[in-house]
């Protein structure tokens, strides 16, 4: 009885030919799977989980909606330069402007102001970085990484005509604690 059981199970012994046949069959299946790819899956959701859209970022303050502390004797004020960015790190952008009174000739002095959004939708001046009384005009303004940079043009003496500033200075302001701190990266240069 033991011999007949062994004889019946003789076909279950694996020979090298069986392994080669199995490997060839597996290779054919893998190759077929590589050729016969399903179409790209697409999904659509009707109903089910809904997610709220991220709130839109707050818009920067609008310079046109602000009254500047300029004494223009009846003339209009002009925003000559502007830049926006988050200066105080609260996640909302502020706007920095160089504004001056409209003049028929010459280069009127500018004030540099920081604008923030007030309650509701209004904008307001929250800081004055350069007073018009300093007799400066602004060549450029930028806001990068929370730092306000301005190129200020000025005069070496009262005898220099207002059309032609002869000094150039790059100034930076950074919000620290509860105020703007001014630094001058380079000495003032004559233009």
Q: What pLDDT digit, counting tens, does each position of 129-160 carry?
A: 999 999 899 999 999 999 999 999 998 998 98
Could you write out the three-class secondary structure of the chain? CHHHHHHHCHHHCCCHHHHHHHHHHHHHHHHHHHHCCCCCCCCCCCCCCCCCCCCCCCCCCCHHHCCCCCCCCCCCEEEEEEEEECCCCCCCCEEEEEEEECCCCCCCCCEEEEEEECCCCCEEEEEEEECHHHCCEEEEEEEECCEEEEEEEECCCCCCCCCCCCEEEEEEEEEECCEEEEECCCCCEEC
Q: What pLDDT digit, counting tens, does each position of 23-64 carry?
A: 777 777 676 666 666 566 555 555 555 556 666 677 899 999
| pLDDT of 131 | 95
């Amino acid at each position: 009885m033991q011999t007949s059981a062994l004889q019946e199970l003789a076909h279950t012994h694996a020979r090298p030919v069986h392994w080669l046949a199995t490997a060839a069959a597996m290779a054919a299946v893998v190759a077929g799977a590589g050729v016969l790819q399903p179409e790209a899956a697409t999904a659509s959701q009707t109903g089910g989980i809904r997610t709220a859209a991220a709130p839109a970022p707050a818009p920067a303050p609008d310079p046109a909606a602000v009254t500047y502390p300029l004494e223009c004797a009846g003339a209009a004020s002009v925003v000559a330069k502007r830049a926006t960015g988050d200066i105080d790190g609260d996640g909302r952008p502020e706007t920095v402007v160089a504004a001056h009174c409209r003049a028929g000739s010459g280069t009127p002095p500018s004030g540099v102001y920081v604008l923030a959004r007030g309650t509701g939708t209004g904008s307001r001046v929250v800081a004055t970085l350069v007073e018009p009384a300093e007799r400066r005009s602004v060549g450029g303004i930028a806001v990068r990484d929370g730092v306000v940079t301005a190129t200020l043009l000025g005069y070496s003496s009262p005898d220099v005509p207002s059309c032609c500033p002869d000094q150039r200075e790059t100034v930076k302001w950074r919000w620290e604690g509860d105020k703007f701190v001014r630094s001058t990266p380079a000495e003032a240069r004559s233009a």
